[in-house]
Amino acid sequence: MKNSISLLFYIKRVKVDINNKANIYLRITVNSRRAEFSIQRKIHIDKWNSNLNRVKGYSKEAQEINQYIDLISNKINKIHQHLIDKEKIFSAVQIRDIYLGKGQNLKMLLKIFQDHNNQIEKLVGKDFAAGTVLRYRTAKSHVEEYIKYEYNLNDIPVNDVDHKFITGFEYYLKTERNCAHNTAIKYITNFKKIIRIAYANDWITKDPFFNWKARLKTVVREYLSEDEIQELVKKEFKLPRLDQVKDIFLFSCFTGLAYADVKKLTKNSIVIGIDGNKWINTKRTKTNTVSNIPLLPVSIAIIEKYVNHKEIKDFPKLLPVLSNQKMNAYLKEIADVCGISKNLTFHLARHTFATTVTLTNGVPIESVSKMLGHKSLKTTQHYAKILDRKVSDDMALLKEKLNSLGTKNSTQDKKSV
């Protein structure tokens, strides 16, 4: 039955004092969820009746403790009935805390989460990107849905969050929300920040994430090979929309810019670099980090191709970029026509720049990281791990060097003879 309650008074026989007495506890269970506390009474373990949840016999001590147990039971049941009459959704922990006089001091989890989200929303463009705010909103929504799904509650006290809640939330994201492993972990990491805020403010006494570790799975990111890039470059489309999408995609392949960053480029984003050539100077939408990228001939040709396009001729924007949804839909058509079996999405262009265009051609990883606008070199190193061809080329150079060295030493040995 919805919001059903059961009370169990019991002793912990393993925790007795020197007189063989143990504390009496009350366990409250609501909808299979428990909360417990000591009633501040002790009894000799031999005098406790586990079947009746009462003290044995009719001694004065037994009568006083049993009357006190009945008093507590009555108070708990009244609290329970009051919450039902008010049509409030509640938990065992809330009933316990109301009884103990803590009901007014509870910090509610979703309220803390929402306060956090309200704060970072006001810092968009200063300390946070819009995408970050969106992720926290989505994470909060998932937590809210999980609480309703698992606890049948609108919110819970933050001190109800334990390791079981966290692992249950992870399982919920993967099963009910169909999130991939890494996606689920990222949402939980967002949630973890909220718990850390509660811990830092002493709203909870221990960190439930102490024994939880975020373990992301390595994802092999697809990218276009040199042959596939050339297939796109030489392919001519009669439909203007496909030709336009192809060009914008190739522009990203040769600049490494994500969709949002290409879309926001203006004519003022093109500057003259320290080498006297044209560079792109912009800030990444996602991380707000600066990206300075020298323009390759392919990218310059694409910009010049669309100088007089109706969407940009009299406007500051640099390129006629369609919506992300349309771009990805048309890229599927382009992939079919070009015989590319990979899942062609706009973000694949960024991976292609990092791998095929730069790292594979010997551009130092530090330079690639700077152009991509990565905050950490570790992020860029992920691309280097998947370049078996690059490893092969590097080892080939090493073999050549060693062979050359061996030949040189052999010649010198012959001369000395």
Q: Are residues 67 and 149 in the same domain?
A: no
Give 148-174 pLDDT, tens digit per residue.
Answer: 998 888 888 898 899 999 999 999 999
- 291 touches 284 (CB < 8 A): yes
pLDDT score for 205: 77
Residues 268 and 377 in one domain: yes
> In the predicted model, what is the mean pLDDT of residues 356-374?
90
- Asked if residues 18 and 42 have their Cβ atoms less than 8 Å apart, the reply is no
What distance lies between CA 282 and its chain's CA centroid?
A: 26
Q: Which two tokens stand for residue 98?
A: 């109301």
When comparing pLDDT for 220 and 378, which is higher? 378
Q: From CA 89, how far away is CA 150, in angstroms rounded?
A: 13
| 286 and 374, same domain (yes or no) | yes
Q: Is residue 95 a part of any domain in this protein?
A: yes
Q: Please tell me whether the overall predicted TM-score, pTM, comes out greater than 0.75 for this model.
A: no
Model confidence at 250, pLDDT cuts 50, 70, 90, reads: very high
Least confident segment among 70-74, 98-102, 120-124:
98-102
243 and 392 share one domain: no
Residues 262 and 371 in one domain: yes
What's the pLDDT tens digit per position in 265-279?
A: 999 999 999 999 999
Q: Are residues 12 and 113 in the same domain?
A: no
At 98, the pLDDT band (50, 70, 90 cuts) reads: confident
Query: What average pLDDT does range 353-376 have in this prediction?
Result: 89
Q: Average pLDDT for residues 197-221, to the nearest whole number?
A: 86
Look at residues 186, 244, 241, 256 and name the one whose alpha carbon lies nearest to residue 215: 186
Q: Percent of the chain at pLDDT above 70?
A: 93
Pick the range with the lowest mean pLDDT from 241-255, 280-294, 314-328. 280-294
Are 194 and 247 found together in one domain? no
Helices then strands, counting H and E runs in the chain, come out as 15, 8
Whether 415 shows a pLDDT value over 80: the answer reads no
- Which of 97-111, 293-307, 352-366 is the most confident on average? 293-307
| Domain identity same for 382 and 414 | no
Q: Is the pLDDT of residue 412 over 70?
A: no
Look at residue 391 in the predicted model and tell me its pLDDT. Answer: 67
pLDDT of 1:
45
3-state secondary structure the chain: CCCCEEEEEEEEEEEECCCCEEEEEEEEEECCEEEEEEEEEEEEHHHEECCCCEECCCCHHHHHHHHHHHHHHHHHHHHHHHHHHCCCCCCHHHHHHHHCCCHHHCCEHHHHHHHHHHHHHCCECCCECHHHHHHHHHHHHHHHHHHHHHHCCCCCEHHHCCHHHHHHHHHHHHHCCCCCHHHHHHHHHHHHHHHHHHHHCCCCCCCCCCCCCCCCCCCCCCCCCHHHHHHHHHCCCCCHHHHHHHHHHHHHHCCCCCHHHHHCCEHHHEEECCCCCEEEEEECCCCCCEEEEECCHHHHHHHHHCCCCCCCCCCCECCCCCCHHHHHHHHHHHHHHHCCCCCCCCHHHHHHHHHHHHHHHCCCHHHHHHHHCCCCHHHHHHHHHCCHHHHHHHHHHHHHHHHHHHHHHHHHHHHHC
232 and 377 in a common domain: yes
What is the average pLDDT across 222-229? Answer: 91
Residue 221 inside a domain? The answer is no
Residue 177 has pLDDT above 80, yes or no: yes
Mean pLDDT of the chain: 89
Return the pLDDT at 288: 77
**Domain termination residue (choose one: 38, 69, 104):** 104
User: Could you tell me if 16 and 113 lie in one domain?
Assistant: no
Final residue in a domain of this structure, among 51, 78, 104: 104
Whether 206 is in a domain gets the answer: no
Is 320 a member of any domain? yes
Q: Is the pLDDT of residue 104 over 60?
A: no
Q: Report pLDDT digits (tens) over 181-203.
A: 999 999 999 999 999 999 998 88
Edge-first strand order for the sheet with 21-30 is 5-16, 21-30, 33-44
Residues 364 and 241 placed together within one structural domain of the fold: yes
CA–CA separation, 101 vs 320, rounded Å?
A: 63
Within a domain: 68: yes
Which pair of structure tokens corresponds to residue 317?
Answer: 């924007």
CATH code of residue 149? 1.10.150
Q: Is residue 416 part of a domain?
A: yes
Helix, strand or coil, per DSSP, at residue 110: helix
Q: Report if residue 209 sits inside a domain.
A: no
Structure tokens at 45: 């373990």
Alpha-carbon distance of 329 to 242, in angstroms, equals: 10
The first and second tokens of residue 58, run together, are 């009719």
- Strands 290-294 and 278-283, bridge-based pairing: antiparallel
**What range defines the domain where residue 29 resides?**
5-104
CA distance 321 to 372: 20
For the chain, the domain total comes to 4
Residue 75 in domain: yes
CA separation for the pair 100, 97 (Å, rounded):
5
pLDDT > 80? residue 89:
no
Q: Examine the domain organization and report whether 252 and 351 are in the same domain.
A: yes
Mean pLDDT of 115-123: 95
Quote the pLDDT of residue 31: 86
Are 335 and 344 spatial neighbours (Cβ–Cβ below 8 Å)?
A: yes
Final residue of a structural domain among 67, 88, 104? 104
